[in-house]
Each structure stands twice: as C-alpha cells, then as structure tokens.
Homo-oligomer: A and B are copies of this chain.
C-alpha cells in the first residue's frame, strides 16, 4: 500500500529512455518537462545535451476539490524524485503541457474536462512553486511543435498534425509556427462532418466516428463481441468480417472528408498523422491517399506522413517549450 506522501504505482515507461527516433532534443539548457494527460503523467529531466533522464509514466492524481493544486503537488514530488536520481542535471526552466483549451500566451488553462479546471492560471502557479521560468502549452500543440522541430513535419512549414487515438486531437502549423487562436484552433476531432451525436454536445464530430476509440466501441455495440482495440477491428475487416469492414470504411470516409476540408480551406503541405491508429500503416495511409484523390479535383492534395515521435511527442514538445521559456 502506498503512503499519502508517495506517488502510487510508479511505472517506468516500457519504452525506457528511448524517445522514438529522437534520442535528443539537441544542445541547450537543462530543463524539467511534464506531459500531463487524463490518466497519466510523463516526466523527465532533459540534460544539456538534450537527452531525457529518468523518463517515467505515473498516474494523474484524482482531485475534485482543488485539481490544479493537487496536480502541482504531484509534479513537485516527481521533480524531487527526478532531482534525487539525477543530481547532476540542474533545470533552468519547467515545461508543462496539458489537454483541453489552453491559452498558452497568457498561461491559462481555460478548460479541461479531463483535469477538471476552468481558467486556472497554471503558468503563474507553477512559477511560484518551482521558482523557475515555466512554459505552459497544449499537449497536442506541443507535440506538433516537436514533430515540426524533430519529426515528421520538419520539412513542412504549413502542416496539420492529427493524433488519432482514444480521441482525435489536432494542431495547425502555419508558417512554421503553431497557430492557436487563443487555444481554440485545431479541434479537428470536434469538427462536424455528419449528424451523429458526440459526447461533447455537438453533432457529427469526426472523433465520434474515426478515432480508434470510436472504431472499437462501434464494433462492440454492433456485434456484442469484445475486441482488442481498433487494430483488431481493422484485422477483422481484412479477414472478411462485414460489420468490421463497414465500420472501418465509415471511419476512413470520415477521415477523408475532414482532410479534404482541410485541403480546400488551409491547403497544408502535409498532414502528419500519429497516435494508435497511425500504426495501422498502409491500411490507413494508402486508403486515405486514394480516397482523397477520388473526392477532390483542382485542390493541392497534401502529403500524408506518419508522425515520428509517437507517444513521446508531448514531452519532447514540453521540453522544447521549456528551453524557449528559459531563454
């Protein structure tokens, strides 16, 4: 049993210290970086060579009363642990990235259903606790920034990064920089393309049809058969299961529709696709390329490329942002 002061269920990331094709964020000041999600927190120190030290995944604390206070307490404990284990790394800034609506310019967590806050002045609260400059940003925008600096978007100044997992999150790069619109831009998962209900309260959201979560949920609802995620639905579709084939086809059509709209309106050079579903590989990318070409005409169809930093894009982006805050 874990005591009140310890952090329960510390799990070292099974990927260990390896950061998926990006062994380092490059030379610079040492920083402390956090990537906080609804269920777990990634944390690490990044040394002067840009190498992650002590990268770990631990649970996000549950707190109804004071969600920002409980989170900052937990981050301070993680920082102390990391510092104990890596006393040679003296961070000069802290990066924190979170889901929801984030006003990174003003350092405000506008809204997060996962973390339970509204208009939380996170950057200032963190600065007070850590006594260091703090970068506070949206997790997927930070991830897209890492893909821009180190990963799949490095060759494309105008790009859309789409992370397809339990939900669908997006971020826009315009002229090589994240485009935020006060934190409201990039909600591609909650852009409407049909009329079905979405738990967010809107109708026809892409996420409710094309996320890995939606694909497996829709299959279970249609058949009563449990599956091991969207990958199993895709495998069943390839094996001749008609229900699986229909659900996968509808997910591909929905993604095609959304990317076609992005193409017409923003004309990005590339769409960088990450998250669990992106590991479906050719089944996803080849299908999307063919369907996009089929439904558009004079438009400039973007290159579709896989994200390269995978699950670590968020914490890499957090570390990159922390370095910018330090300078």
Contact = CB atoms under 8 A, between A and B. Distances in A.
Contacts of A297: 190, 198, 200-202
A158 B181 contact: yes
Contacts of A187: 264-265, 267, 299
A141 to B, nearest CB: 13
A111 B265 contact: no
A266 interface: yes
Interface string A173-195: 01000010110111110111100
Interface string A285-302: 000000000011111100
Contacts of A174: 174, 179
Interface string A67-102: 000000000000000000000000000000000010
Contacts of A299: 184, 187, 190, 202
Contacts of A7: none
B260 A262 contact: no
A298 B264 contact: no
A320 interface: no
Interface string A146-181: 000000000000100000000000101010000101
Contacts of A257: 192-193, 204
A184 B300 contact: yes
Nearest to A260: B192
A309 to B, nearest CB: 22
A111 B267 contact: no
Given A174-B174, A298-B101, A266 B265 contact: yes
Q: For the side of the interface on A, what is the size category?
A: 35 or more
Interface in A28-63: none
A274 interface: no
A201 B174 CA distance: 28
Interface-centre pick from A101, A111, A261 (highest chain B CB count, 10 A): A261
Given A187-B265, A265-B187, A182 B296 contact: no
A317 interface: no
A133 interface: no
Nearest to A179: B174
B261 A186 contact: no
Contacts of A198: 297
Given A172-B266, A185-B267, 12 more contacts: A170-B265, A172-B265, A181-B268, A181-B269, A182-B300, A184-B300, A185-B266, A190-B298, A190-B299, A202-B296, A204-B295, A261-B261
28 contacts: A101-B298, A172-B265, A174-B174, A179-B266, A181-B267, A181-B268, A182-B300, A184-B300, A185-B266, A187-B299, A190-B297, A191-B260, A191-B261, A191-B264, A191-B265, A192-B260, A192-B264, A192-B295, A193-B257, A201-B297, A202-B260, A202-B295, A202-B299, A203-B295, A204-B295, A265-B265, A265-B266, A266-B266
Q: Which 8 A-B pairs have the closest CB atoms?
A: A201-B297, A191-B264, A184-B267, A181-B267, A184-B300, A202-B297, A187-B264, A185-B267
